[in-house]
């Protein structure tokens, strides 16, 4: 039975590792998205840092990416920045890859 238990523990550890990696990558993507949007809104570096934190926090409102999308889209529109929803979604998608690469390179 110990062989089965060892495999089970190994699978549980891999699941936990993968979940943590996914969480870190999503948080990093949201940070990068916040910085991108902050640049479009002409925020100062200090304001951009705070805004990126707000974007990260917005991801805890509901499951999925729609809460983050609504936050960024709404804020850009409120500031009069004309960026299409498709551009924001494409940026979110491309930043997932950037975030995953950054996380992987950090070890």
pLDDT at residue 1 tops 60: no
pLDDT digits over 10-63, tens only?
Answer: 888 787 777 788 889 999 999 999 999 999 999 999 999 999 999 999 999 888
Number of domains in the chain: 1
For residue 86, give the CATH number of its domain: 1.10.790.20
What DSSP designation does 107 have? -
Q: Range of 25's domain?
A: 2-106
Give one DSSP letter per residue of 40-106, joined into a string.
Answer: HTT--HHHHHHHHHHHHHHTTSSSSSHHHHHHHHHHHHHTT----HHHHHHHHHHHHHHHHHHHHHH
Are 54 and 33 in contact by the 8 Å Cβ rule? The answer is no
Confidence band of 89 (pLDDT split at 50, 70, 90): very high
């Amino acid at each position: 039975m110990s062989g089965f238990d060892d495999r089970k523990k190994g699978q549980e550890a891999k699941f936990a590792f993968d979940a943590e990696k996914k969480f870190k990558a999503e948080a990093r993507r949201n940070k990068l998205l916040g910085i991108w949007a902050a640049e479009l809104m002409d925020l100062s570096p200090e304001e951009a840092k705070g805004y990126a934190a707000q974007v990260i926090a917005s991801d805890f409102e509901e499951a999925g990416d729609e809460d983050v999308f609504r936050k960024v889209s709404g804020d850009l529109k409120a500031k009069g920045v004309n960026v299409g929803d498709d551009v924001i979604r494409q940026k979110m998608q491309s930043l997932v890859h950037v975030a995953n690469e950054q996380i992987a390179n950090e070890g």
